[in-house]
Amino acid sequence: MRDAGKIVAMAHQEIADAVAVGVSTQMLDQIAEDFIVSQGATPSFKGYGGFPASICTSVNEVVVHGIPSSLKILEDGDIISVDIGAVINGYHGDAAMTHPVGDISEQAQTLLKVTEESLYKGIEQAVIGNRLSDISYAIQSYVESNQFSVVRRFCGHGIGRAMHEEPQIPNFGRPGHGPRLKAGICLAIEPMVNMGTFEVTVLEDKWTTVTKDAALSAHFEHSVVVTEEGPLILTEI
């Protein structure tokens, strides 16, 4: 899990360096795929349920599962959420980040900041003895106290030998419910936060998910293991 997580984290670093005005999302996909393969790993997303690329690139009102394209060129003021998964020696890592492209609005900057902070609020709750929904509640209450909304349609998830394992981790809900957390449980925690309504629409390609009101959306994710010493983030360098 550490190896997979480290490769995902390093791939994100490559993407962070590459995101710029004029770059296509297809180019980012190629960079990430080449890097993952160079590390002896395999992109987890490619072919998953028929997904046609190695990473998800979700620009502006696209919430998640955006398909990289040579026709999608990043413009000044965009935000782009990049989700990357890799598998090595039978174990997966999964993480997402949203990047500004050039100069973004102050409101967009706040959205990115609050979404990333909400991820860490969730991670803080990934401790032995807590219930799963303590993570959900921490994320939702932080996001909503900042006047943004959390997407209901998609959740975080367990991760390990498969990219998506039980349990599902909603980014909303009352605290104190669900399984009690034990040492060794690996979770991919991933708030998707919208500037307007939490409602989303899946487009005809059956992947691209957009906000119903076309307002901006951000996404941050880490794979985390619950340990005796507290939560350990696996998808960090």
Residues in touch with Mg ion (CB under 5 A): 94, 188, 190
Q: Which is nearer to Mg ion, 19 or 155 (CB)?
A: 155
Q: Which is nearer to Mg ion, 78 or 94 (CB)?
A: 94
How big is the CA angle at 160 (ends 170 and 182), to the nearest 5 degrees?
65
CB 76 → Mg ion: shortest distance, Å?
29
Q: Which is nearer to Mg ion, 73 or 200 (CB)?
A: 200
CB 179 → Mg ion: shortest distance, Å?
18
In 3D, which of 174, 121, 123 has the Cα closest to residue 146?
Answer: 121
CB 106 → Mg ion: shortest distance, Å?
29
CA 198, chain centre distance (Å): 16
CB 154 → Mg ion: shortest distance, Å?
9
Q: Which is nearer to Mg ion, 2 or 110 (CB)?
A: 2
Cross-strand partners of 24: 73
Q: Are 186 and 110 in contact (CB under 8 A)?
A: no
How big is the CA angle at 41 (ends 36 and 44), to the nearest 5 degrees?
80
